[in-house]
Chain A
């Protein structure tokens, strides 16, 4: 007895729904990671117009430091907290000892391009130091709420992804509040709009830059800790995560945390759908075509500030 055509059709329907959902979950998994890393780029950029290429290293430091503290016997929450504090301190130090002296040199500060190159140098230094001090092996942090996948209409979601998404939502809401409601946040925005004017009204621009490095390092570390159960962590994982996070940030519009989130998710889902419905060999091609197309049509990114000059 063969199944009726209708039953078979229905089965095929649910199978393809499950397949679509699975591709979507895969896209959200990687997209959320790109987004969380991308938000870090957005913060420093909005305070200083500097793209911090050591952002990926902050992410790596978060994961690696947590792993190191865990193996030293600390409980996970304490290890994670300490790792965020340590990474934030390194972010502050990077600004204090490498970026600031160049930016505020007597006789005119260095250009933004110089500062960006300084961050590239810093990223190589941090990576090398981590390689020597923490070793070259890859490590996996235990998943925060177990490894049992959540079944939604036949598609499986890694519960760790919910942690990443939760942190992402908190980061976006928190940053929006920070920039709109706090003095420091408003001062940061003012500095990015017009540095000279901000200085003239009494904003300590150095403080702002310092705070932005600390904040984005802390956020990067958080991203590294939350994603380490999914991506594993290694001394050189910052290269890859940093690059994808950077793509997310420019796709969404540099300087906009919300844009980085949208850009990251878009990028991740596009990759997964391309791998699922076209060919896994072309998934990166599709992602790059999307980035090129967006930047061609809207050079400022999807949610980037429109470059308007008031006269």
Chain B
């Protein structure tokens, strides 16, 4: 009896599904935005605000009528920051969910792992990860939102040069993001007249960096320190720097752009300089700054919805979603090739990370202007320029 019932139910639902399929072309289909993000796991501080941002704005846009008269549907999978899971979910997004655009990949590792799939499926892909390797060399279907680690290094070096500091010590972890940043810091030094005089490493799970910092302290010619990394290990580094009573100007890359870095350092982050996206210092931006309004609006919306402080990472997801939808609007359809072309033609798009100008040779579209150098004072970010 039960078996028969369930068979009947199955039949019923099959008919319903068939009817839906036939009826579908008549109704406007949803625009499907797929995402695989590190919502849990060690990179959850990236993926969590990104996922929340996508959901929040999908709702907002839908209640304002959607795009091209169609509703937005955001499908988020949690990759836990694992490249293997990321490829599984990317495949599912492409083959089962049949999404129109993929926005996601919280980390560089996940992003690079799915690039071959993206190329094969010929689907527009907007990555939210940092390393320059994602768009250099340019890959036809791949775009990225955040400023690259190279720009972080450039921004820091320009400031060091202004302060007549030329001997730089690098300290960073052994993870992929840190290594990529370290490589850029080594490679760009001659261009800015800098000399790398020390290069110290730690494991991402280390709990004390006084040894590495003591070596830097005792190295002749160190005039500035540049830190590569993210997460609680950077907080510990800053606290150890204070513990050792060091006063060498200290810079960090944009991986530390969250309040957690400052809180975890227990006062050690005071005076540290960091290049960050405009979003973190939206209130302090001059009135004419193009990012001011976008950043304030996003910040207010996020804080109202989730009652937690904003991070720059959620901002990347906001920009990714807006650029994808803007391209769909201009393309007038969700035809993948047309949308890709439209993303590549993005001009003067004001986002929270900066004003995007994509070209066939530049799939990030940001300049150094939109990257802000801040100093940590009284446990908060102070805009320097």
Contact = CB atoms under 8 A, between A and B. Distances in A.
Contacts of B239: 147
Nearest to B235: A232
Interface stretch (A81-89, A101-109, A272-280): A272-280
A109 B343 CA distance: 63
Interface residues of A, number: 38
Contacts of A142: 266
Contacts of B208: 26, 29-30, 230, 272
A149 B245 contact: yes
A231 B245 contact: no
A22 B212 contact: no
A136 B40 contact: yes
Given A30-B207, A149-B245, A23 B214 contact: yes
A141 to B, nearest CB: 10
B201 A281 contact: yes
Contact of B235 (A19, A131, A140, A227): A140
Contacts of B218: 15, 19
A232 B264 contact: yes
A19 B231 CA distance: 27
A281 B174 contact: yes
A37 B206 CA distance: 15
Contacts of A33: 207
Contact of B210 (A22, A140, A143): A22
B235 A156 contact: no
Nearest to B218: A19
B203 A284 contact: yes
A280 B200 contact: yes
B271 interface: no
A136 B44 contact: yes
Given A147-B267, A149-B243, A156-B244, A272 B211 contact: yes
A14 interface: no
B222 to A, nearest CB: 15
A57 interface: no
Interface string B162-206: 000000000000100000000000000000000000001111011
Interface in B226-246: 231-232, 235-236, 239, 242-245
A79 B354 CA distance: 44
B2 to A, nearest CB: 33
A236 B42 contact: yes
A281 to B, nearest CB: 5
Contacts of B42: 236
Taking each of B41, B48, B200, B201, which has the highest tally of chain A beta carbons within 10 Å of its own beta carbon? B201
Interface string B35-50: 0000011101100100
B248 to A, nearest CB: 15
Interface string A23-37: 101110110010000
B263 interface: yes
A158 interface: yes
Interface string A231-262: 11010100010000000000000000000000
A234 B205 CA distance: 12
A182 interface: no
B236 A231 contact: yes
Contacts of A156: 210, 243-245
B362 to A, nearest CB: 34
Interface in A84-135: 131
B211 A275 contact: yes
A interface, over-half SS: helix
Interface in B1-52: 40-42, 44-45, 48
A309 interface: no
B260 interface: yes
B215 interface: yes
Nearest to A141: B266
Contacts of A23: 211, 214
B212 A275 contact: yes
Contacts of A284: 203
Nearest to A23: B211
Nearest to B39: A136
Given A140-B266, A149-B245, A156-B245, A22 B211 contact: yes
B178 to A, nearest CB: 12
A198 to B, nearest CB: 39
B201 A230 contact: no
Contact of B215 (A15, A229, A236, A280): A280
B260 A138 contact: yes
Interface in B260-282: 260, 263-264, 266-267
A143 B243 CA distance: 13
B246 to A, nearest CB: 10
The 9 closest A-B pairs by CB, nearest first: A240-B205, A231-B207, A138-B232, A232-B232, A26-B210, A136-B44, A26-B211, A275-B211, A22-B214
Interface of B: 40-42, 44-45, 48, 174, 200-203, 205-208, 210-212, 214-215, 218, 231-232, 235-236, 239, 242-245, 260, 263-264, 266-267
Interface of A: 15, 19, 22-23, 25-27, 29-30, 33, 131, 136-140, 142-143, 147, 149, 156, 158, 227, 229-232, 234, 236, 240, 272, 275-276, 279-281, 283-284
Given A138-B264, A147-B243, 18 more contacts: A22-B210, A22-B211, A22-B214, A26-B214, A33-B207, A138-B232, A156-B244, A229-B266, A232-B232, A234-B232, A236-B41, A236-B42, A272-B211, A275-B202, A275-B211, A279-B201, A280-B201, A280-B202
25 contacts: A19-B214, A19-B218, A22-B214, A29-B210, A30-B207, A136-B44, A136-B48, A138-B231, A138-B232, A138-B235, A138-B264, A139-B263, A140-B264, A140-B266, A142-B266, A149-B243, A156-B210, A232-B232, A232-B236, A236-B41, A240-B205, A280-B200, A280-B201, A280-B211, A283-B203
